[in-house]
Amino acid sequence: MSNYLAFDLGAESGRAMLGTLENGRLQLEELHRFLNEPVRLPDGMYWDTFRLFHDIREGLRIAGRERNLKLDGVAVDTWGVDYGLLDINGALCVNPRHYRDPRNAAAYEAALAAAGRETIFEHTGLQFMALNSLYQLQAEKMAGTPGLWSADKLLFMPDLLSYWLCGEMKNELTIASTSQFYNPSQRRWATELFDTLGLPKHILGEIVLPGAKLGGLLDEIRDTCALGETPVFATAAHDTASAVAAVPATGERPWCYVSSGTWSLMGVEIDEPIVTPKALELTLTNEIGVEGKTRLLKNIAGLWLVQECRRQWLLEGQEYSYSQLTEMAAGATPFLAVLDPDQFIDPGRMPQRMAEYCAKTGQKAPERPGQFVRVALESLALRYRQVLEMLETLVGYRIEVIHIVGGGSRNGLLNRLVADATGRTVVAGPSEATAAGNLLVQAMGAGEMAGLSEVRKVVKNSFDLEVVEPHSTSAWELAYEKYLKIRG
C-alpha cells in the first residue's frame, strides 16, 4: 500500500488530496481544503501565493502530525499560464499576477503587432488568449517592471510551489506548454519570440518531464510537519494535463475529453502536434501531456458563467447552492435564448450582461435564476458541439465518445444536454480526475505504474462512471443553427 499526497489548486479553491494505492485501485481522501481568492491591489490583480503555500504546509502538517502518515510522494498541480519571477538568490522579485489582470489586453495587442499572429502560432501552436504567459511578460516589459530585468528564473505556479517545498527550480513540461513560448514540435522553449519582443530569455530554465523526482521535502518542513524522507515529484503540473491522464478511456471507440470546471478544456489526445493554417484558423491549441502526448484542445469559458451569476446574486442578497440552481435550470423552459460563452470571460455583472447580450441579438432575455442557468448550460453544450466538429476536421475521424471529467461532471443536467446537443455518448467521471491524475503520475515517477495505459486502467477500476446516451431532437438542430448564426 502506497500513500501519495496531491495538492490540486484551482481558480477558486485548493485541496490536499490523499491517494492510497493498493491492489490496482486508488482511494481518495480530502485532508484539507482552502480558498483561492485573488487579491485586488491598486495596480492590478494578484494571486495570494504566500497564503496558498501556507495552506500547502497545513496539508502536510495534517498528513504528518494528525494522521501519522508516511508519504511516498508529494506533488502540486495548478491552472496554467501564471508565474512568479525569482532573483539570483531565489527570492520573488515579481509576484504572480492573476491571468484576468486587465493590463494583459494592451500587451496582447502589442505582442501580436510586433511578432505577428502567424509567426507566434508557427513557433507555439497555441490558442491565442490575452491571458497567456507570453503577453503577461510583455505587460511586465510595457509597465517597466524592475523585477523583470533583475529576474534570474521564471517559475510557473506549480514550479514555484514545488521549489518552496524542496528547493529545486525546474520547469515542468505540461505547464510550460501553456505559456505560448514553448515549441511543441521541437520540444524546446520558443526563444525566437523572446528575441523579437525583447524579453530576457535567460529566465527560462530546465524543463523536466511529468513524473520526474525533483528532490525531498526541505528539512524545516519535514520537522515542522513530522514527516520523514518524502520525495517531491513534478506531476503533470497543469491541472488539465493531470485530468486528461485520468480519463478512463479504453481506446475501443474514438474519444475526446472535456475537463469541466470554471473553464472547459475540450480536446483529443494525439501523438504529434497539429500546427497548420487550419489549426490556426480554428484557434485550437497544442499542449503537451503525459508520455509526450499532444493535447489538441480548445479553452472554453465553462461553468464560469454559472459561478459568476451565483456570485452576483449573492452580492444582491440571494444565496443559491449550485444544486439548487441546477434543479431550477432543469425545470426552466428550454431554448429560451443562446449565447456565445466565450464572450463572457470578464468577471462582474454576469446576469445583466447575459440579458444585454440577448437584447442585442434580438432574443428574449432570461429573467429568473433558473432561466439564466439553463441558457448558460445549453449554450455551453452547443459550444461543445462546435468544438467537437473543429476537432474532427483536424484529426480526420468521427469522435464517438465524450469523456467529461472534473467537478463539472457531477452536473447531470449538463451531461444530458451535451449528449443530446452532440449526438454522442457521454461518459461522466471521475469528478476528481485532476487529483487522481496527479497522484498516479507520481506513482509513475516512483516506478509503481508502468505507464499511461495502466494509470487509466486503475482509474476505470476505482471510480463509478455515468454513461449518458444521446436523444437528439430537431429542437437541438434548430438551436445549433441559431447559435452558429449568432456567433457569426
Query: What pLDDT, in 10s, does the model give residues 183-206?
Result: 999 999 999 999 999 999 999 999
Delimit the domains of the chain by residue range. Answer: 2-238, 247-429+450-488
Q: How far apart are CA 394 and CA 280, in angstroms?
A: 11
Q: Which residues are catalytic?
A: 239
Q: What are phi and psi of 156, to 5 degrees?
A: -70, 165
The alpha-helical segments, DSSP class H, found in 198-332 are: 219-225, 239-245, 277-281, 304-315, 322-330
Strand ranges (E), 87-166: 92-94, 153-156
pLDDT category, 402, cuts 50, 70, 90? very high
Average pLDDT, the chain: 97
Bond from prior residue into 430 cis (ω within 30 degrees of 0): yes
List the one residue out of 413, 409, 423, 408 whose CA is nearest residue 472. Answer: 423
- Cα–Cα distances in angstroms (integers) from residue 455 to residues 77, 439, 465, in the given order: 17, 10, 16
Report residue 220 as a C-alpha cell. 524545516
Q: What is the pLDDT of residue 289?
A: 98
List the one residue out of 475, 282, 487, 472 whose CA is nearest residue 388. Answer: 282
DSSP state of 62: I
Residue 76 exposed, middle or buried by CB count within 10 Å (0-12, 13-18, 19+): buried
pLDDT category, 251, cuts 50, 70, 90? confident
pLDDT category, 294, cuts 50, 70, 90? very high
Residue-wise pLDDT tens digits, 253-273: 999 999 999 889 999 999 999
Residue with cell 515579481: 94
pLDDT category, 479, cuts 50, 70, 90? very high
Residue-wise pLDDT tens digits, 42-72: 999 999 999 999 999 999 999 999 999 999 9
- Mean pLDDT of the region 163-191: 98
- Cα–Cα distances in angstroms (integers) from residue 151 to residues 58, 126, 175, 182, in the given order: 29, 25, 20, 19
Residue 403 · residue 267 · CB < 8 Å = no
- C-alpha of 402 from chain center: 17
Report residue 212 as a C-alpha cell. 520526474
Q: How far apart are CA 274 and CA 285, in angstroms?
A: 9
Could you tell me which residues come within 8 angstroms of residue 251 by beta carbon, excluding any fewer than 6 positions away?
A: none
How many other CB atoms sit within 10 Å of the CB of residue 146? 11
Residue 472 pLDDT exceeds 80? no
- Mean pLDDT of the region 118-126: 97
Is the full-model pTM beyond 0.85? yes
- The secondary structure of 407-444 as a DSSP string is GGGG-HHHHHHHHHHHTSEEEE--TTHHHHHHHHHHHH
% of the chain beyond a pLDDT of 90: 97
> Looking at the domain covering 247-429+450-488, what would its CATH class be?
alpha beta
Q: How far apart are CA 265 and CA 177, in angstroms?
A: 15
Q: What is the pLDDT of residue 25?
A: 97
Q: What is the pLDDT of residue 346?
A: 87
The maximal CA–CA distance of the chain, rounded, in angstroms, is 64
List the one residue out of 273, 282, 260, 97 whose CA is nearest residue 177. Answer: 273
Residue 162 pLDDT exceeds 80? yes
Residue-wise pLDDT tens digits, 445-466: 999 999 999 999 999 999 999 9
Task: Please give the span between the terminal C-alpha atoms of the chain, in angstroms, as a whole number.
Answer: 55
Residue-wise pLDDT tens digits, 4-32: 999 999 988 999 999 999 999 999 999 99
Q: What is the pLDDT of residue 11?
A: 84
Q: How far apart are CA 218 and CA 43, in angstroms?
A: 34
Q: How far apart are CA 332 and CA 330, in angstroms?
A: 6
CATH number among 2.70.98.60, 2.60.40.10, 3.90.105.10, 3.30.420.40, domain 2-238: 3.30.420.40
Domains 2-238 and 247-429+450-488 share a fold: yes
Q: What is the pLDDT of residue 168?
A: 98
Residue type, 242: S
